[in-house]
A and B are shown apart, each in its own frame.
Chain A
Amino acid sequence: MVTNFSRIFKFAVNDFSRNKGISLAAIFVLVVTIMLVTWLFFFHGISKFLISQVQDRIDITAYFKDDAQEQDILGVKEEILKLSPDIKAVEYVSKERAMLAFNEKHKDNAVLAKALEEVGTNPFLPSLNITTNGDPVQFAEVSNVLQTANFSKFIDKVDFSQKKDTIEKVFSITSNINTFGLILGIILVILAILVVFNTIKLAVDSSKDEISTMRIVGATDWFIRGPFIIQGAIYGFIAFVICFLISAVSAYFLSPKISAVLPGFNTFDYFLSNIWILVLIQLAFGAGVGIISSFIVVRKYLDV
């Protein structure tokens, strides 16, 4: 068993090094395919970042009546958190904090300071700043809580109606991007697999007569198939190493340029934080497609 495996491995390495042209072509096609999948992975990261950027800006502000008690407002907050536990943030801003924030923001504006002085009292209302996860369902849940009779009596106004359309639009764009990306990704990956399959088929086709001779001399199916499958794995592994290096280098050098267009998104950080999943995708895709293609093509000749 061990002897057989070492022989199969030796045949694979010999065939690989003796058929340099075919090996290079197969590796090149695999590199292009894996890079395509890697690009889709980065594209997914960028689109997720963009979507979260937009969704972070979707919030609701509920302004309470001047005489609303702090415990009533906190009761509303609790109710919202109970109904939508995955809500991003619910922040209570008291009258005093609102005033302080206003003063801080406009400390250099003498006209506004004077106007506030003329009013005499604190004109700000206590509020809850609610940040949803951008999902219209959650948005509707929050709106419903605020409109129930128990709570609406404390509320002066809710600043959300003018944002409803925007939220629905964002949600529909988000879901369209995801669907489109998924369909495009699947089509590209299928095309890439077909190209790799045909390249490996060409490589194995050149050994068609050799396979038939091996059968005639009584080699077992695995003794014939093994070297081709290991060659497929070698193609995949080398392609993976090349792609991994290209991804790391391009993520590092493109990072400042992409950060200039997408502030807050660092491609190299994204690469590092997803390094294992990327290794898994590239390796599984490269070696997987290489091995499966070889297996299928050789089986065809073994069946004849």
Chain B
Amino acid sequence: MIKFEKVTKIYPAHFSNGSPTAVLQDVSFEIKEGEFVSIVGKSGAGKTTLTRMILGLEDPTHGDVFFKNKNLRTADSFEIQNIRRSIGCIYQDYKLLPAKTVYENVAYIMEVEGKGYGKIEKEVPRVLELIGLEDKMENFPKELSGGEQQRLAIARALVNNPKVIIADEPTGNLDPYNSYEVIYMLEKINKAGATVILLTHDREIVNKLGKRVVTLVGGRIIRDEAEGKFML
């Protein structure tokens, strides 16, 4: 489903205040449909750059990234937008739309896809109920707790039934209780058939999952195990 082929990403000198920095070096791996993959590594290992490439937000300096056999380097803006719509993203800083209410944050994703008013009015309350935010539909994100904001981010990522979920440090700002709740939700989504890519440096979570682990160090893949552990 997602394939990295000899991908290298070098940021020019003006980005890194000095010499050019290679954040990914000769990275090759493939993620199959329905897989649950944890990508682990320290901060600066290149995890976020990897996800930005899957979303077509950045091009590799060398090599190619494929999404469903489509080379993102040659995809036009329409194809890139369609790819982004088929991926649900969850971030450590939630990336919610602060000027929109809880309801509008979720509805926005369906509006972007051009879904009709009737479907949006039916689907959004259902998803919000599923994650326990049905009483906060008219609240703004800043009026929610950290855990609630992350649940809203998950609701937003799920509402369009995406084929792929990218969770970039989704538990980074959460307490252990909320962290496990988020991971439990991701497992459930994966069981329902979605591909889940989890980027984290939380040892406990990765070890408990017992799923495929790709380990990045200094922009290189040093380990890729089907039932891996967090080892850095």
Cα distance A59–B112 in the bound complex, in angstroms: 72
The total of chain B residues at the interface (CB under 8 A) is: 25
Is B85 interfacial (CB-CB < 8 Å)?
yes
Kindly identify which residue among A4, A15, A213, A218 contacts B81, using a CB–CB cutoff of 8 Å.
A218
- Please state if B95 and A216 are interface contacts (CB–CB under 8 Å): yes
Residues of chain A with a CB closer than 8 A to B117's CB:
3
When each residue 204-231 of chain A gets 1 if its CB lies under 8 Å from chain B and 0 otherwise, what string results? 0001011011111111110100000000
Residues of chain B with a CB closer than 8 A to A209's CB:
95, 98
Is A161 interfacial (CB-CB < 8 Å)?
no
In the complex, what residue of chain B is closest to A6 when comparing beta carbons? B117
- Please state if A19 and B99 are interface contacts (CB–CB under 8 Å): yes
- Please state if B99 and A4 are interface contacts (CB–CB under 8 Å): no
How far is the CB of A130 from the nearest CB of chain B, in Å? Answer: 70
In the complex, what residue of chain B is closest to A227 when comparing beta carbons? B99
Kindly identify which residue among A18, A216, A223 contacts B84, using a CB–CB cutoff of 8 Å.
A216
- Please state if A213 and B96 are interface contacts (CB–CB under 8 Å): yes
11 pairs of residues in contact across A and B, judged by CB atoms under 8 Å = A3-B116, A7-B111, A18-B99, A209-B95, A214-B112, A216-B95, A217-B85, A217-B108, A217-B109, A218-B83, A219-B112
Q: Which residues of B line the A interface, CB within 8 A?
A: 55, 57, 77, 81-85, 89, 95-100, 104, 108-109, 111-114, 116-117, 156
Residues of chain B with a CB closer than 8 A to A216's CB:
55, 57, 84, 89, 95
Residues of chain B with a CB closer than 8 A to A220's CB:
81, 112
Cα distance A81–B30 in the bound complex, in angstroms: 91
Is A259 interfacial (CB-CB < 8 Å)?
no
In the complex, what residue of chain A is closest to B93 when comparing beta carbons? A209
How far is the CB of A46 from the nearest CB of chain B, in Å? Answer: 45
Kindly identify which residue among B57, B83, B97 contacts A210, using a CB–CB cutoff of 8 Å.
B97
Kindly identify which residue among B84, B96, B97 contacts A218, using a CB–CB cutoff of 8 Å.
B84
Cα distance A144–B108 in the bound complex, in angstroms: 78
Cα distance A207–B98 in the bound complex, in angstroms: 9
Kindly identify which residue among A210, A212, A218 contacts B99, using a CB–CB cutoff of 8 Å.
A210
- Please state if B82 and A218 are interface contacts (CB–CB under 8 Å): yes
Cα distance A285–B3 in the bound complex, in angstroms: 51
Cα distance A7–B120 in the bound complex, in angstroms: 13
- Please state if B99 and A207 are interface contacts (CB–CB under 8 Å): yes
Residues of chain A with a CB closer than 8 A to B116's CB:
3
In the complex, what residue of chain B is closest to A19 when comparing beta carbons? B99
